[in-house]
Amino acid sequence: MDSRCVIYVFSGTGNTRLVAEKYRESFDGNADIFDIASDYRQLPMPDRYDIVGIGYPVHAFNAPEIVIDFAKFLHCGERKNLFIFHTGGEGLFFNDSSSLLLRRILRRKFCILSEMHFVMPYNMIFRHDERMVKHMVTYMNKLVPFHAEMIARGEREKIRPMPIRHLISFLLRIEWFYARFQGRTMKADGRCTSCSLCERNCPMDNIRIIDGRPHFGTNCALCVRCSFFCPEGAISIGLLERWKVNGRYPIERIMKDESIPETIPVEKLSVLYRRYYRNCSALSEKEMRPL
């Protein structure tokens, strides 16, 4: 592809970043990826690019508030083509509500082409097993090039208005307010070794190590990066503790492991996933059939 693309991505635990990297590969490397974090005002704006992408993890059927703030800030001298992608631990139809407010903000400044949801391993709720992880990543690897081609052709997708989606997305924005309170409920227990990884990695600069222990402020995005990657599993996430997932998914190893099948037949998937994967296959019979 000759066009140059810029992708802005918010990613707590790496899934959305992985998808962004697949877009870059699908655009023949003609893409720059920038991480949205609390200092997003330092990021280059898209003026010298042809296409703009925005990616984020779905949080409670919404985009994280930092992504909305960034979209309000994002500006460009010309009206450019823009695409959206999001990742979530399941393929429920309500995940598409997550972009409603984002679209409203962005369509004044950009021409929104299309969006795509990618099911990726849960970083909250429960840990997916390795078969399911391979299935998800295999499909993502097939879907991104398909979407990238649509984007390169400048194809525009029509969105059907659905009031129930607006309602769900609006009600669950309570998560943004909860995120501020969340910092007050997070703490590290005696397993903490004061390695300061959580402090260095927090995208919101919300953690300070004081007297050898992390202290959490009120600028949390609920991205769960701190608890997910804590090598000791020492961080408890307050009211959400029973849904905590701790530890990186070894995606590279899983994808290379030939003893794990590439995909799972749709009828053997949990009902949470069947509609999504049926739609994926229908989306591009030709591209998806080899699976």
Ligand X SMILES: Cc1cc2nc3c(=O)[nH]c(=O)nc-3n(C[C@H](O)[C@H](O)[C@H](O)COP(=O)(O)O)c2cc1C
Positions that interact with ligand SF4 (CB under 6 A): 12, 188, 192-198, 202-204, 206-207, 214, 216, 220-226, 230, 232, 234-235
Give the CB-nearest residue to ligand X.
88
Token duo for residue 37: 């974090």
CB of 14 to ligand X, least distance (A): 5
58 binds, among ligand SF4, ligand X, none (CB under 5 to 8 A by kind): ligand X
The 10 Å Cβ neighbour count of residue 261 is 11
Residue 89 within binding range of ligand X, rule CB under 6 A: yes
* Binding residues among 186-245 for ligand X as defined by CB under 6 A: 222-224
Q: Which is nearer to ligand X, 111 or 125 (CB)?
A: 125
Helix (H) or strand (E) holding 226, with range, is helix 225-229
For residue 135, the 8-state DSSP code is H
How far apart are alpha carbons 285 and 136 in whole angstroms?
Answer: 18
How far apart are alpha carbons 16 and 237 in whole angstroms?
Answer: 21
Residues 15-34, mask of contacts with ligand X (x by CB under 6 A) = xx------------------
CB of 54 to ligand X, least distance (A): 13
CB of 196 to ligand SF4, least distance (A): 5
192 binds, among ligand X, ligand SF4, none (CB under 5 to 8 A by kind): ligand SF4
How far apart are alpha carbons 63 and 105 in whole angstroms?
Answer: 12
Which of residues 6, 8, 14, 101 is near ligand X by CB under 6 A? 14
- CA-nearest of 281, 264, 38 to 143 is 281
Q: Which is nearer to ligand SF4, 120 or 202 (CB)?
A: 202
Residue 13 within binding range of ligand X, rule CB under 6 A: yes
> Contact residues for ligand X (CB under 6 A)?
11-16, 57-61, 87-90, 95, 120, 122-124, 222-224
